[in-house]
């Protein structure tokens, strides 16, 4: 790709690729481990709910190379119970000991930590720690977890109801009861997780006494640093968090986990390097899970399919503990607030609750509640279509907010500043020849032994949430802003520091495109630094489709300030007015006289007092500016996904035959990278819709804590995606960017479900749950055929 301005909008190849392709990316377990490093191993509870009666560490301590074995009481001397301080009516905060004391509340919760001289020894020592448990009955399932006789997860939380909230518009009851038609449905979403290919891990290096350099495979270095300081009572200025290369995060690594506190605290305590690398079983057992949701929905509509009112009763599984920093309300309030999507729904009521259970804690997995709330609303749109014998696309188009009516403030107060709901759907229909497929589709959907169907998901995608957005959801300690620090060095080269941390998104490339354009210099001259709290300014970090909006906005603002200063210096030297100075391609010149100019190096040398020019009177030395960007409530992207697939009539296997996406994330920074985000998200959504599910039995045992049993999609499960973009630049954000990190996943889940439902429409099979595994579908098909005979 040739480098021409503007760089924004170009599919620039990634700077990250060369070192990653050579195997030279330094992931957490690739960092040099100093001599004398202590290696931790966690002893995990085999019970979902039990009292810890006794822990005998002596057999483990007898093993050569085991330094010590510590329990929850030991760690409590170093780390306070961690608590997500959500301020929201109906929320019950509760603490979590980083290693369980007295009681365990899910299978995989740590009850002891072994401190050893090697990772292999840690595995030996774990086996030798003898823990006596008194098992207790478990609340292992979401259904019934708030029943009066259900086992209680926390004594302080009645009926396991960690959070409860509701909302009603003033005219809801009248609108609902006055409608001609009502459809009711329960949508059940299976529990899944991010499952990044690289498990988590951390390495803590004490230096200069009680200073700590803390490497962690995390998405949130600044939030982690603040949390470590607060819960360890250690001065924040003596902690430096560095993020190495991260092998995928997907929100999983946006939580701050008990192991991170344990590693940091023990490094400070022992004054020695301490390291812990998670294995896959631990990852599946203890990293956040998500999407264990029930949506009981009622939708009221008229003869034309126009929605009159929507009511939702939403229950989400919080797991055993609220996690840092989001607590457990993100999925609950997210689903409740986002479900109206691109539709003109003005009468709306919800009740929503998060229930504690004796299962792994839930958290922020890519898409958060949006794959499930759109599973619900998009499933309802299809049901309206079937009820009224209308085309599903037509029902959507009749209910969508048209572009001409934007900006639009939705029923829960979220502003859609720009967008393309109608246009995205129409273009996706063209891409996949929706009308052609419909015309040739037989009523029984059966073609060559397979049921063939097509499914739509039209949706909004929350991105770039600012502080008002987090406050609206009770997350008072989550900032919302991000920041950028742009420095033009004495040689004219540019270093831009940003408060983000990448896990595959290509920030070194995309942020350099943004800074080069904003500053008026060459892409090749810009270097991006991120993921290190000692060098980068504070921010909210990298999750919830934030980077382009918040990091991009902050860098543009900081770069603009630097450029203004360079303009003043250049104007002074060139004896021109500030406004007559043009800055482009790494030079400042007088407008209309390109040869009368200065290079960035000449301006920078002036700023750093390295030549014979003088600065304008009152101008400070240096060429370095910091700025912040806190976007509005949220920045709303949108998209349409359409999937065409077949269901094998005998074995129930689903094959995706065609897949079209039209996405609108406003101004595109790098279309190649945006496409990659959509491909990857959609593949995860296909996994979630068709195969992925964590299965707990009634005793709270996770039945599939290996990658042999928790199925991830392979290259044979995913099609070649057709992706196009519509660009409706945001008018509410700096730069016009909207996020794109989650849309792929959000759209794939409802689109695949609707396509399967369409394929099986001739059999009167109700598709209202996921995942749709082959055995489920083949049973449903067999049963339907038997009834039909």
Partner 1 sequence: MSEKVEITLTVNGQKRSALAEPRMLLADFLRHELGLRGTHIGCEHGVCGACTILLDGRTARSCLHFAIAVDGAVIDTVEGMASADNLHPIQEAFHQNHALQCGYCTSGFLLTTLEFLRRNPDPDEAEIRRALTNNLCRCTGYTNIVKAVAAAAAAMRAAG
Subset of 257-286 contacting partner 1 (CB under 8 A): 279-280
Q: How many residues bind partner 1 (CB under 8 A)?
A: 60
Distance between CA atoms of residues 504 and 673, nearest Å: 10
Residue from 67, 136, 412, 707 that binds partner 1 (CB under 8 A)? 707
Q: Residue 503 interacts with partner 1 (CB under 8 A)? A: yes
Residue from 77, 170, 706, 789 that binds partner 1 (CB under 8 A)? 706
Q: Residue 338 interacts with partner 1 (CB under 8 A)? A: no
Main-chain dihedrals φ then ψ at residue 110, nearest 5 degrees: -75, 135
Distance between CA atoms of residues 368 and 378, nearest Å: 17
Distance between CA atoms of residues 232 and 230, nearest Å: 6
What residues pair up with 291 in beta bridges, in sequence order? none
Task: Provide, rounded to whole angstroms, the least separation between the CB of residue 194 and partner 1.
Answer: 8
Residue from 72, 108, 165, 196 that binds partner 1 (CB under 8 A)? 196
Encode 458-482: b = buried (16+ Cβ within 10 Å), e = exposed.
bbbbbbbbbbebbebbbbebbbbbb
Q: Residue 34 interacts with partner 1 (CB under 8 A)? A: no
**What are the residues whose beta carbons fall under 8 Å from the beta carbon of 263, sequence distance 6 or more?**
40, 202, 203, 204, 214, 274, 275, 276
Q: Residue 506 interacts with partner 1 (CB under 8 A)? A: yes
Residue from 228, 668, 683, 757 that binds partner 1 (CB under 8 A)? 683
Task: Provide, rounded to whole angstroms, the least separation between the CB of residue 678 and partner 1.
Answer: 8
Binding piece for partner 1, criterion CB under 8 A, among 135-143, 597-605, 680-688, 774-782: 680-688
Q: From residue 19, how far is each of 23, 24, 201, 525, 739 by CA, in Å?
A: 6, 5, 21, 19, 27
Grouping H, G, I as helix, E, B as strand and the rest as coil, residue 335 is helix
**What are the residues whose beta carbons fall under 8 Å from the beta carbon of 208, sequence distance 6 or more?**
none
Subset of 48-67 contacting partner 1 (CB under 8 A): 64-65
Residue from 2, 4, 23, 149 that binds partner 1 (CB under 8 A)? 23
Q: Identify which of residues 157 and 707 has a Cβ nearer to partner 1 in the complex.
A: 707
Q: From residue 620, how far is each of 598, 616, 623 by CA, in Å?
A: 19, 9, 9
Binding piece for partner 1, criterion CB under 8 A, among 169-177, 309-317, 524-532, 677-685: 677-685
Q: Please check whether residue 285 is in contact with residue 360, taking contact to mean a CB–CB distance below 8 angstroms.
A: yes
Q: Select from 694, 703, 787, 691 the least CA-distant residue to 748.
A: 691
Q: Identify which of residues 21 and 789 has a Cβ nearer to partner 1 in the complex.
A: 21
Q: Residue 621 interacts with partner 1 (CB under 8 A)? A: no
Q: Identify which of residues 404 and 715 has a Cβ nearer to partner 1 in the complex.
A: 715
Q: Residue 504 interacts with partner 1 (CB under 8 A)? A: yes
**What are the residues whose beta carbons fall under 8 Å from the beta carbon of 484, sequence distance 6 or more?**
496, 497, 498, 499, 515, 537, 551, 554, 555, 556, 557, 558, 559, 626, 627, 629
Residue from 35, 54, 404, 715 that binds partner 1 (CB under 8 A)? 715
Q: Residue 35 interacts with partner 1 (CB under 8 A)? A: no
Q: Please check whether residue 222 is in contact with residue 499, taking contact to mean a CB–CB distance below 8 angstroms.
A: yes
Residue from 44, 75, 86, 246 that binds partner 1 (CB under 8 A)? 246
Residue from 3, 6, 30, 271 that binds partner 1 (CB under 8 A)? 30
Q: Which two tokens stand for residue 685?
A: 């959504």
Residue from 5, 27, 85, 468 that binds partner 1 (CB under 8 A)? 27
Q: Residue 712 interacts with partner 1 (CB under 8 A)? A: yes
Grouping H, G, I as helix, E, B as strand and the rest as coil, residue 760 is coil
Task: Provide, rounded to whole angstroms, the least separation between the CB of residue 426 and partner 1.
Answer: 24
Subset of 398-437 contacting partner 1 (CB under 8 A): none
Task: Provide, rounded to whole angstroms, the least separation between the CB of residue 660 and partner 1.
Answer: 13
Binding residues for partner 1, rule: CB under 8 A, are 13-14, 16-18, 20-27, 29-30, 64-65, 120-121, 124, 194-199, 245-248, 250, 279-280, 503-506, 672-673, 675-676, 678-684, 706-708, 712, 714-716, 718-721, 744
């Amino acid at each position: 790709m040739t480098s021409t301005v503007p760089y924004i909008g170009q599919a620039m190849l990634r700077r990250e690729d060369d070192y990653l392709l050579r195997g030279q990316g330094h992931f957490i377990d690739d960092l040099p481990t100093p001599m004398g490093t202590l290696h931790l191993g966690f002893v995990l509870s085999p019970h979902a709910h039990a009292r810890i009666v006794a822990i005998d560490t002596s057999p483990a301590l007898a093993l050569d190379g085991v330094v010590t074995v510590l329990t929850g009481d030991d760690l409590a001397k170093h780390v306070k119970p961690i608590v997500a301080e959500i301020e929201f009516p109906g929320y019950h905060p509760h603490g979590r000991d980083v290693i369980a004391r007295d009681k365990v509340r899910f299978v995989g919760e740590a009850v002891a930590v072994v401190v050893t001289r090697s990772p292999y020894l840690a595995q030996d020592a774990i086996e030798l720690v003898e823990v006596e448990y008194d098992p207790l009955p478990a609340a292992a399932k979401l259904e019934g977890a708030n029943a009066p006789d259900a086992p209680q997860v926390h004594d302080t939380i009645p009926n396991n109801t960690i959070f409860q909230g509701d909302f009603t518009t003033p005219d809801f009851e009248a609108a609902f009861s006055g409608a001609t038609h009502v459809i009711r449905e329960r949508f059940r979403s299976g529990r899944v997780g991010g499952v990044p290919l690289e498990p988590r891990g951390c390495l803590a290096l004490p230096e200069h006494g009680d200073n700590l350099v803390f490497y962690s495979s995390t998405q949130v270095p600044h939030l982690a640093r603040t949390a470590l300081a607060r819960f360890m009572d250690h001065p924040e200025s003596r902690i430096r968090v560095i993020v190495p290369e991260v092998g995928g995060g997907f929100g999983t690594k946006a939580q701050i986990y008990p192991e991170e506190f344990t590693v940091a605290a023990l490094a400070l305590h022992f004054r020695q390097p301490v390291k812990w690398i998670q294995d896959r079983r631990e990852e599946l057992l203890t990293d956040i899970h998500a999407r264990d949701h029930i949506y009981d929905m009622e939708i009221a509509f008229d003869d034309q399919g126009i929605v009159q009112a929507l009511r939702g009763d939403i229950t989400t599984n919080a797991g055993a503990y609220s996690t840092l920093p989001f607590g457990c309300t993100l999925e609950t309030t997210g689903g409740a607030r986002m479900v109206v999507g691109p539709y003109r729904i003005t009468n709306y009521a919800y009740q929503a609750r998060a229930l504690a259970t004796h299962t792994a804690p839930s958290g922020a997995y890519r898409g958060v509640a949006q794959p499930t709330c759109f599973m619900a609303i998009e499933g309802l749109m299809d049901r309206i279509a079937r009820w009224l014998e209308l085309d599903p696309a037509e029902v959507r188009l009749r209910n969508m907010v048209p572009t001409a009516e934007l900006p639009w403030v939705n029923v829960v107060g979220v502003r859609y500043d720009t967008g393309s709901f109608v246009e995205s759907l129409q273009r996706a229909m063209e891409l996949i020849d929706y009308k052609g497929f419909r015309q040739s589709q037989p009523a029984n959907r059966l073609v060559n032994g397979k049921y063939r169907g097509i499914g739509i998901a039209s949706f909004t995608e929350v991105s770039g949430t600012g502080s008002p957005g987090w406050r609206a959801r009770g997350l008072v300690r989550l900032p919302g802003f991000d920041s950028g620090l742009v420095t033009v060095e004495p040689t004219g080269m540019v270093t831009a520091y940003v408060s983000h941390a990448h896990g595959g998104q290509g920030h070194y490339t995309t942020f350099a495109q943004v800074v080069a354009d904003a500053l008026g210099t060459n892409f090749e001259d810009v270097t991006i630094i991120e993921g290190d709290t000692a060098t980068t300014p504070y921010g909210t970090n990298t999750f919830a489709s934030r980077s382009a909006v918040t990091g991009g906005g902050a860098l543009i603002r900081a770069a603009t300030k630097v450029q203004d200063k360079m303009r003043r210096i250049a104007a002074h030297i060139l004896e021109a007015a500030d406004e007559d100075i043009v800055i482009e391609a790494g030079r400042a010149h007088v407008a209309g006289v390109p040869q009368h100019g200065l290079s960035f190096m000449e301006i920078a040398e002036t700023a750093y007092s390295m030549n014979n020019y003088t600065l304008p009177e009152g101008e400070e030395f240096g060429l370095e500016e910091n700025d912040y960007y806190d976007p509005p409530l949220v920045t709303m992207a949108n998209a349409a996904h359409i999937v065409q697939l077949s269901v094998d009539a005998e074995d129930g296997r689903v094959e995706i035959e065609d897949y079209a996406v039209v996405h609108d994330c406003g101004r595109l920074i790098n279309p190649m990278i945006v496409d990659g985000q959509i491909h990857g998200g959609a593949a995860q959504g296909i996994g979630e819709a068709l195969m992925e599910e964590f299965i707990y039995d009634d005793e709270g045992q996770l039945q599939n804590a290996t990658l042999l049993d928790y199925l991830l999609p392979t290259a044979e499960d995913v099609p070649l995606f057709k992706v196009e973009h519509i660009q409706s630049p945001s008018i509410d954000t700096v730069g016009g960017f909207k996020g794109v990190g989650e849309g792929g996943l959000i759209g794939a889940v409802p689109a695949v479900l609707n396509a399967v439902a369409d394929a099986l429409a001739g059999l009167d099979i109700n598709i209202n749950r996921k995942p749709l595994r082959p055995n489920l579908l083949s049973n449903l098909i067999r049963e339907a055929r038997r009834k039909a005979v």
